[in-house]
């Protein structure tokens, strides 16, 4: 059973998205406040242990929090054996009988979640102390919100901080600039956001027609229907490493293929009088993003093929700013390289 959204050709999109239905839980089901659902597929077990420990350090008890691994039929990972070795019975697991893909596995997370609020936490990300306690302020202080999320650190494969996300607003509260920060650009990491289960029940689950941008599609659907609360204190660490699923998409340029598709699709979520301009701004934003990624891959990683893939798909976004952005960013890169060289010589 699914909900479907047909998008007409007058918006230059010929597609139909299917959103799997999320059924309410049976009456009498024991409902904790939080459900922390961790989708896994051949995880780095060291990272996964760190992820689980970052949750358990904030564990309020079984009546308040459910923690469960949802494994997508990993060929090289046994969640039962892992948890037995981990030695903590506060964590349960469910193993898919066959591989469902990212969207399918995330939807199983939602289906199996018994909590009023669902946190889909990625297998290699980390929570910082106070994550749940701080986001609880948004939930209790603004009863009408559909989701709450926070600012984040970006860390490398060793856990070292690379940089801190720019705050979307200086104080905690409802994200009033949601068009800019949800539709124009993706500023919400899946592990940083907690969504009310009833929101998924109303809007449906993640579309399985997208893989890289399926979370962006979901946040846009939520933002167009519910207020979203934001915490500017960084309470979460997003781990960037070359073995991640996101890296595979970026190396091939498929990240921008899906970004382009998501931008076109989301015009249907907005009123006619603003959808075109929001779409245009999103394409301009991701034109700059794609070129920036391409230059970084070429200069820092010496990866010509991935850089070309990024540029090829960036140009297909159709933004008039492509060549201007390319020239500007390339010049900036050359100047930065010269400054670095000068500092080494001196």
Evaluate whether residue 24 is within a structural domain.
no
Q: What confidence score (pLDDT) does residue 337 get?
A: 47
**Is pLDDT of 262 > 50?**
yes
Based on the domain organization, do 297 and 192 belong to the same domain?
Answer: no
Q: What confidence score (pLDDT) does residue 25 get?
A: 98
Based on the domain organization, do 196 and 327 belong to the same domain?
Answer: no
Evaluate whether residue 25 is within a structural domain.
no
- What SS3 class is residue 224? coil
Evaluate whether residue 325 is within a structural domain.
yes
Evaluate whether residue 153 is within a structural domain.
yes
Within 10 A of 154 (CB to CB), how many other CB atoms are there?
15
User: pLDDT band at residue 246, thresholds of 50, 70 and 90?
Assistant: confident
DSSP class of residue 207 equals: -
Evaluate whether residue 23 is within a structural domain.
no
User: pLDDT band at residue 6, thresholds of 50, 70 and 90?
Assistant: very low
Q: What confidence score (pLDDT) does residue 247 get?
A: 76
Q: Give percent of the chain with pLDDT exceeding 90.
A: 68
CA–CA distance from 34 to each of 30, 49, 114, 124, 204 (Å)?
A: 12, 20, 8, 20, 19
Evaluate whether residue 12 is within a structural domain.
yes
Based on the domain organization, do 324 and 183 belong to the same domain?
Answer: no
Which of 239, 264, 290 marks a domain boundary? Answer: 239
Based on the domain organization, do 157 and 272 belong to the same domain?
Answer: no
CA distance 177 to 185: 11
Q: What confidence score (pLDDT) does residue 296 get?
A: 79
Based on the domain organization, do 160 and 181 belong to the same domain?
Answer: yes
pTM above 0.85, yes or no: yes
Based on the domain organization, do 235 and 268 belong to the same domain?
Answer: no
In tens, the pLDDT along 211-223 reads 899 999 999 999 9
**Is pLDDT of 327 > 60?**
no
Based on the domain organization, do 204 and 323 belong to the same domain?
Answer: no
User: pLDDT band at residue 306, thresholds of 50, 70 and 90?
Assistant: confident
Evaluate whether residue 105 is within a structural domain.
yes
Based on the domain organization, do 200 and 85 belong to the same domain?
Answer: yes
**Mean pLDDT in the chain?**
88
Domain count, the chain: 2
Based on the domain organization, do 37 and 154 belong to the same domain?
Answer: yes
The mean pLDDT of 168-182, rounded to a whole number, is 95
In tens, the pLDDT along 30-80 reads 999 999 999 999 999 999 999 999 999 999 999 999 999 999 999 999 999
Range of the domain at 178: 2-18+30-239
Q: What confidence score (pLDDT) does residue 310 get?
A: 85
Which of 239, 265, 282 marks a domain boundary? Answer: 239
**Is pLDDT of 2 > 80?**
no
Comparing 275 with 2, which gets the higher pLDDT?
275
CATH number, domain at 213?
3.90.550.10
Which of 214, 239, 264 marks a domain boundary? Answer: 239
Based on the domain organization, do 185 and 306 belong to the same domain?
Answer: no
User: pLDDT band at residue 293, thresholds of 50, 70 and 90?
Assistant: confident
CA distance 132 to 155: 20
Evaluate whether residue 106 is within a structural domain.
yes
Lowest pLDDT segment from 57-71, 113-127, 269-283: 269-283
User: pLDDT band at residue 314, thresholds of 50, 70 and 90?
Assistant: confident
Lowest pLDDT segment from 43-47, 48-52, 261-265, 286-290: 286-290
User: pLDDT band at residue 193, thresholds of 50, 70 and 90?
Assistant: very high
Based on the domain organization, do 107 and 171 belong to the same domain?
Answer: yes
Q: What share of the chain is helix, strand, coil (3-state, %, to 5)?
A: 45, 20, 35
The mean pLDDT of 95-124, rounded to a whole number, is 97
CA distance 188 to 194: 11
Is there a contact between 155 and 240 (Cβ–Cβ < 8 Å)? yes
Based on the domain organization, do 101 and 235 belong to the same domain?
Answer: yes
Q: What confidence score (pLDDT) does residue 294 get?
A: 84
Q: What is the largest CA-CA distance in the chain?
A: 72
Q: What confidence score (pLDDT) does residue 5 get?
A: 45
Q: How far apart are the first and last CA of the chain?
A: 67
The mean pLDDT of 257-278, rounded to a whole number, is 92
């Amino acid at each position: 059973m699914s909900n479907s959204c047909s998008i007409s050709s007058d918006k230059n999109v010929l597609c139909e998205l299917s959103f799997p239905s999320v059924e309410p839980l049976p009456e009498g089901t024991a409902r904790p406040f939080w459900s922390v659902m961790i989708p896994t597929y051949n995880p780095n077990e060291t990272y996964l242990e760190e992820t689980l420990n970052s949750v358990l350090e904030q564990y309020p008890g079984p009546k308040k929090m459910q923690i469960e691994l949802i494994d997508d039929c990993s060929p090289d990972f046994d969640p039962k054996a892992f948890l037995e070795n981990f030695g903590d019975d506060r964590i349960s697991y469910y193993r898919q009988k066959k591989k469902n893909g990212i969207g399918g596995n995330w939807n199983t997370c939602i289906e199996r979640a018994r909590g009023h609020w669902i946190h889909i936490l990625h297998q290699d990300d980390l929570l910082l102390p106070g994550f749940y306690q701080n986001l609880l302020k948004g939930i209790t202080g603004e009863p009408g919100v559909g989701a709450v999320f926070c600012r984040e650190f970006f860390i490398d494969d060793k856990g070292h901080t690379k940089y801190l996300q720019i705050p979307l607003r200086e104080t905690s509260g409802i994200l009033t600039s949601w068009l800019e920060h949800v539709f124009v650009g993706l500023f919400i990491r899946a592990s940083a956001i907690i969504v009310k289960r009833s929101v998924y029940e109303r809007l449906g689950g993640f579309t399985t027609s997208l893989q890289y941008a399926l979370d962006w599609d979901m946040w846009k659907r939520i933002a167009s229907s519910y207020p979203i609360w934001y915490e500017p204190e960084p309470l979460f660490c997003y781990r960037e490493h070359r073995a991640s699923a996101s890296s595979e998409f970026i190396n091939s340029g498929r990240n921008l293929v899906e970004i382009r598709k998501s931008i076109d699709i989301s015009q249907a979520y907005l009123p006619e009088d603003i959808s075109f301009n929001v779409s245009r701004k999103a394409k301009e934003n991701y034109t700059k993003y794609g070129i920036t990624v391409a230059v970084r891959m070429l200069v820092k990683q010496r990866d010509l093929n991935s850089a070309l893939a990024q540029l090829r798909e960036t140009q297909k976004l159709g933004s008039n700013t492509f060549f201007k952005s390319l020239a500007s960013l390339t010049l900036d890169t050359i100047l930065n390289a010269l400054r670095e060289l000068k500092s080494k010589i001196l």
